[in-house]
């Protein structure tokens, strides 16, 4: 597997392949192969997990078998994705609670054109944590139409994120909290 597919340089790939072919390669040889300062290249390979420190080798590193290295990389990526998914889930879970606790004031409601029932429904569905696909089905839109509508609402609310849009909509009294 080319390491360049994972975003690493040609130098990193050359050094890794050289160590696979000759684990006793010297740092001089590796530096010549990399044709660039060796420290950052080795740091990147260590971070990727395809090299391990080994004081018994001339360069102080041992390459992992590519299959083992790939399995470890996949495991790390999977853990990172799970961590991000949990954070997104936590955010989705918090939004209805924030909306329920917030009591809008007259100063929070923007003058101008009123919010349509469809827009209000879209905001309420998204605040409930429903997916875009499910929300689109409920309001009879395609997913693309729904996302465009959400982008327009975010612009109208001057929100940088969907979460921020939900909070801003609650402040303006545009969404009703569940159970209200």
What is the predicted pLDDT for the residue at 140? 93
- Tell which CATH classification among 1.10.760.10, 3.40.50.10310, 1.20.1250.20, 1.10.10.10 matches the domain 75-171: 1.10.10.10
Extents of the domains making up the chain: 3-64, 75-171
Identify the segments of the chain with pLDDT beneath 50. Answer: 106-107, 179-180
Q: Is the pTM value of this prediction over 0.75?
A: no
Q: Which CATH class is domain 3-64?
A: mainly alpha
Name, in order, each residue with C-beta under 8 angstroms of 177's C-beta and a sequence gap of 6 or more: 96, 99, 100, 102, 170
What is the predicted pLDDT for the residue at 148? 92
What is the predicted pLDDT for the residue at 123? 86
What is the predicted pLDDT for the residue at 179? 46
Q: Report how far residue 164's alpha carbon sits from residue 175's, in angstroms, rounded to the nearest whole number.
A: 13
DSSP state of 175: S
């Amino acid at each position: 597997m080319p390491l360049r597919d994972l975003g690493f340089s040609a130098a990193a790939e050359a050094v890794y392949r050289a160590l696979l072919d000759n684990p006793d390669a010297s740092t001089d040889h590796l530096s010549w192969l990399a044709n660039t300062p060796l420290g950052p290249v080795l740091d990147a390979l260590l971070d990727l997990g395809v090299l391990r420190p080994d004081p018994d080798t001339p360069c102080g590193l041992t390459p992992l078998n590519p299959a083992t290295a790939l399995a470890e990389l996949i495991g790390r990526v999977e853990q990172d994705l799970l961590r991000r998914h949990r954070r997104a889930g936590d955010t989705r879970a918090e939004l209805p609670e924030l909306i329920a606790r917030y009591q809008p004031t007259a100063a929070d409601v923007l003058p101008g054109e009123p919010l349509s029932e469809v827009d209000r429904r879209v905001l309420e569905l998204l605040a409930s944590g429903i997916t875009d696909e499910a929300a689109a089905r409920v309001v009879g839109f395609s997913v693309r139409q729904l996302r465009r509508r959400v982008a327009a609402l975010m612009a109208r609310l001057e929100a940088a994120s969907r979460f921020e849009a939900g909070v801003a909509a609650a402040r303006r009294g545009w969404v009703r909290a569940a159970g209200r």
